[in-house]
Amino acid sequence: MNFLIIGASSGLGRALAEELAANGHNLLIVASDERDLQALCSDLSLRGTGIIDSFSCHISFGDLWLDQLKKKISIWGELDGIFLPVGWSSDEDYICSTSEIINKIVEINFTAVVKIISYCLPIFLAKNKGYIVGFGSVSSLRGRSFNVVYAAAKRALTSYFESLRHALAATDINVQIYQLGYLNTSNNWGRKLPFPKADPVRVAQNIIKNLNGNFGSIFFPRFWSGLQYIVRWLPWVIFKRLKF
């Protein structure tokens, strides 16, 4: 099958690309660094028998990237599914952030994802089949004093995926969103975190294994399924004292 991966050069995106390539799928991988993409293309080509292609763009800069990506997809050919492990956060994301930080966080974590899906969806509707896999965050469970805009953008993304799944309920297009906890990636190296970090390779294997699952939204690692109830229903007098 032919898959599009947005944010493929590192972390979970790279793990997904490696796993899909090893299974013989054709991939169009997208990231911001051309050199990383070329190196990844060479590596993926050795892992399987599929065709590997790449496209470099910065999705936070206007809509020029989207027009260029549309052309690339149209040239590339058939599309069976899209994975969207793209995201960006900032240590300057507090309750009063600059317009630049706000716009970049919202664009990368929410708006750009919606734009890409809106373009690809007619391709899937034409054949009544496809896979759309998005990635939220446990940080969006409740409001917080840090990563404020990021959490809000991820919560908006979850709402969008719920609407997308509802709108496509009568089709064979499978919509999934994974609410992820901490991942063992460069963003979290050296950080003291309250919960264990998941291995991106294990996460990617689980995602591909359950690609046909009709669950809509799911927490991963699975222990977050229980923790999320505690976070959601923790009384305000206690919750307001937490720093996370």
Is the whole model's pTM more than 0.85, yes or no? yes
d(CA 198, CA 175): 23
Write out the H or E segment, with its range, that includes residue 242.
none
Give one DSSP letter per residue of 149-179, joined into a string. Answer: HHHHHHHHHHHHHHHHHHHTTTSSEEEEEEE
**What CATH number is associated with residue 41?**
3.40.50.720
CA distance 12 to 176: 16
| Domain hosting residue 206, numbered range | 2-239
Single out the residue of 157, 154, 83, 85 nearest to residue 120, CA to CA: 83
Q: What is the mean pLDDT of the chain?
A: 86
Q: How distant is the alpha carbon of residue 236 from its chain centre?
A: 30
Nearest alpha-carbon partner for 70 in 15, 44, 79, 21: 79
Residue 89 is assigned to a structural domain of this protein = yes
* 3-class SS of residue 196: coil
User: Which residue is listed with tokens 């969006």?
Assistant: 140
pLDDT in tens, 74-114: 888 789 999 999 988 888 888 888 999 999 999 999 999 99
Alpha-carbon distance of 35 to 150, in angstroms, equals 28
> In one letter, which amino acid is 209?
K
In a domain, 244, yes or no: no
19 is a domain residue: yes
**Number of domains observed in the structure of the chain:** 1
Q: Which tens digit of pLDDT belongs to each residue from 41-77?
A: 888 888 878 888 999 888 876 788 899 899 999 888 7
3-state secondary structure of 177: strand
